[in-house]
Homo-oligomer: A and B are copies of this chain.
Amino acid sequence: MRQLDELQSLIANAVSDLKFPEYPAELYEPIKYILALGGKRMRPALLLMACDLFGGDVNAALPPALAIEVFHNFTLMHDDIMDNAPKRRGKTTVHAKWNNNVAILSGDVMLIEGYKLMMQVRGNILRTVLDIFNDTAVGVCEGQQLDMTFETINDISITEYINMIRLKTAVVLGGALKIGALIGYADDQDADLLADFGVNLGIAFQLQDDILDVYGDPEKFGKQVGGDIISNKKTYLLIKAQELADSETAANLSRWLTATGFNATEKVAAVTDIYNHVNVRQYAEAEMRTYAEKSFAALEKIKLPEENKQYLREFADGLLVREF
């Protein structure tokens, strides 16, 4: 089995070899620009990994893996407009460097280019692969819409939140793994199980991200601790804390959520105190474990040699514990 870093560098090379027309420059330059910003290329690497684990030809899986990466970058290009984000991976975002219209239209072309790449599979799985890609793509858009909607409303349930992160973050991992498995000649049942593994792992990973924002080691986490608290981001911790809080604690939390002109460090400390007071961390970790266990349970049922399953287990363990 190929190691993750080997798969990632296969993708990195294939991304830099991708060819787009020169004309019209305003349409294709932004595509080259965002794809060159780098990133861990985790989603396409998962597609290759799935193909490899079932004994398939990794080179045959490269175009669909690139499709997943191009699709992912299309969502980033449009999300950055919607979030009004000035930076992406430390560089100016496309809409800020060019303008919104360029970012809209270049993004549209990237989605189409994603389909062109995804179609480069053998004929007998073409329809199935595209069905998965369609469902994945719609799911990601639904997740992005829910994420934006949730920022404007206050009574989101944990069920709704988990559904949102499943759509926005997790389905694309499941979709990439399932497509890779099918290219590697997995049967439908194994492909579904691997998708299940990916989706549940993705949810667990996002819940971990929510926990790390508050309780992570800032040096290992690589982000500002408390960033979600400062921006009032609707995370598992915030939603669950609101649910668990008695009326006095809820009022206190609400004051911090509506405060303006606050001291950031003070707000992070105060909201963390509230989180600790209602023991929200233990709920979040239990929820995360639930999804990790679902993920591992799906993995157990896959008809693969123990060695291959162990590879996936270690991959998942690496994702889920490395940053605490």
Contacts and interface: CB of A to CB of B under 8 A. Distances in A.
Interface of A: 24, 26-27, 78, 81-82, 100-101, 104-105, 107-109, 111-113, 115-116, 119, 123, 126-127, 130-131, 134, 137-138, 141-142, 144-146, 148-149
Contact of A126 (B109, B127, B137): B127
A119 B127 CA distance: 8
Contacts of A148: 26, 101, 105
A108 B141 contact: yes
Contact of A27 (B26, B126, B141): B141
Nearest to A150: B24
A145 B27 contact: yes
Contacts of A137: 112
17 contacts: A24-B146, A26-B145, A27-B142, A27-B145, A81-B101, A82-B101, A101-B148, A105-B145, A108-B141, A109-B141, A112-B134, A112-B137, A112-B138, A115-B134, A119-B131, A119-B134, A130-B130
Given A26-B145, A27-B142, A134-B112, A105 B119 contact: no
Query: Which one of A115, A119, A145 has the highest number of Cβ atoms from chain B below 10 Å of its Cβ?
Result: A145
A321 B96 CA distance: 46
A24 B149 contact: yes
A101 B113 CA distance: 22
A116 B138 CA distance: 10
Sorted nearest first, the 6 A-B pairs with minimum C-beta distance are A27-B145, A82-B101, A24-B145, A109-B141, A112-B137, A116-B134
A266 to B, nearest CB: 32
Contacts of A131: 119
Contact of A111 (B111, B116, B130): B111
Contacts of A115: 115, 130, 134
Contacts of A26: 145, 148-149
A178 to B, nearest CB: 17
A18 to B, nearest CB: 15
B82 A104 contact: yes
A149 B149 CA distance: 34
A142 B113 CA distance: 13
A26 B164 CA distance: 14
A191 B254 CA distance: 64
B141 A105 contact: yes
Contact of A81 (B104, B112, B145, B146): B104
A26 B113 CA distance: 26
Contacts of A108: 78, 107-108, 111, 141
Given A24-B146, A104-B78, A111-B108, A130 B119 contact: yes
